[in-house]
Chains A and B, each alone.
Chain A
């Protein structure tokens, strides 16, 4: 663990793996829920990412930076939180290309995606855009050479080691393998986002 400064009121904790990030994020959440675990003024934001956790809005980061390395935090691969089941129709324009890349048939590629237990590693890029980890290590997928100027909301997508569902219509460079009608992001709803860090996700093939 490396604790790096991010200005006068934040610190960035750098970790070895995504599982370490999920572990530290869960630990911070838990400590913030109880009184005893967080004896300092509360941060405004705790933002997990691929190999880092940002703790922002600290009155004084110094004591937090000093205490963090002594925490005994276990890596977390399968959080025991909620599972969101996401019904999907696998009709994306890039499905054949992804299957080819994997050396699988279209059907096998769909089965790989539906049999994977995904976990929301972090959100970014746009409100409600969740990066889902869980694909086997050798199943990474390159981004598209040319990003699309418009990707429809609900598109089920792959890029790098991640899967995602586009929460809203936006430009995007991910490979599109299908779509879902499930509204994962609705700012007027509480909760606005169904996919938050640590939530587990399964895709179910409901297409014809």
Chain B
């Protein structure tokens, strides 16, 4: 039996296949990758009865339009957007039945940045190192979608009704208030830098991407410019390059780096980071790691 497919009618600015990612390969230099807003990916999949980490489409700012060649169910979560089926309004944040040949469109995000478009059975592109995610840093995984692409779908789940019908979703952030746990090089911040970290206000820079959020605002002063040898980096790490402008690493981050990591964003705050548009205000709320406190 030939697999069901979906045609990409309008690819959008940057639409990629994303799933739970490829954790466990950092020692080979492979970034974790995967949906930046894992909460939204998990919800879209639950609405359809898919496993929470099944592959879906991650759009950027202006949505995507699709035309399946067989009947399927689709759910859109993450950044809120107008959803339509052959030009008629359809539900966002709920399962929608899409007949074969119909045009299913996700419009521009009305807030936030990334919408997730899951399909019953999941997107069935080839696995690369255990994941279907496109990694913008290393290029692993299927390339970003282009108009006219045809994506295979997995077998639709035949289990009972989905785990949820509709579910509340947090609104995309108007401002990022981020819990910042101690990082290994917190001590490299000069006294000035420590104060700036607590009281400073930054905004998300337009050069941000799936690798990291770059921040505009006050420079964080370091006490030493002594070179650091490359060391392992976690998702959410806040790195301070020599210019003092912090970078928050998201899931396509390099696995090692040589600039000091002064803190790590709480994993619960990463979905909000994924939805923060350029210009969004950012504040840090430092928090000590209990076992490391003296």
Chain A residues proximal to chain B, CB less than 8 Å: 3-10, 12, 14, 44-54, 56-57, 61-62, 65-66, 122-129, 187-188, 192-193, 196-197
Contacts and interface: CB of A to CB of B under 8 A. Distances in A.
B230 A7 contact: no
Residue of A10, A48, A53 with highest tally of chain B CB at under 10 A: A10
Contacts of A127: 25, 28-30, 138, 140
Contacts of B263: 7
Nearest to B255: A124
B27 interface: yes
Contacts of A62: 290-291
Contacts of A188: 128
Given A45-B23, A127-B28, A187-B140, A4 B254 contact: no
Given A123-B255, A124-B254, A49 B289 contact: no
Q: Give the interface centre of A14, A45, A62 by most chain B CB atoms within 10 Å.
A: A45
B105 interface: no
A4 B27 contact: no
Interface of B: 23-30, 128-129, 138, 140, 181-185, 229-234, 236-237, 254-256, 261, 263-267, 289-292
Nearest to A47: B232
A70 to B, nearest CB: 15
B221 to A, nearest CB: 21
Nearest to B257: A124
Nearest to B187: A4
Nearest first, the 8 A-B pairs at minimum CB distance are A7-B264, A54-B232, A124-B256, A47-B232, A50-B229, A4-B184, A5-B289, A62-B291
Contacts of A10: 234, 264
B29 A52 contact: no
A77 to B, nearest CB: 18
A122 B27 CA distance: 7
A30 to B, nearest CB: 15
Contacts of A122: 27, 230, 256
A57 to B, nearest CB: 7
Given A5-B182, A124-B29, A66 B291 contact: yes
A193 B28 contact: yes
Nearest to A8: B181
A47 B26 contact: yes
B128 to A, nearest CB: 5
A65 B29 contact: no
A153 to B, nearest CB: 13
12 contacts: A5-B291, A45-B23, A47-B27, A49-B229, A49-B231, A52-B232, A54-B26, A57-B23, A123-B27, A123-B255, A125-B254, A126-B138
B28 A192 contact: yes
A48 B27 contact: yes
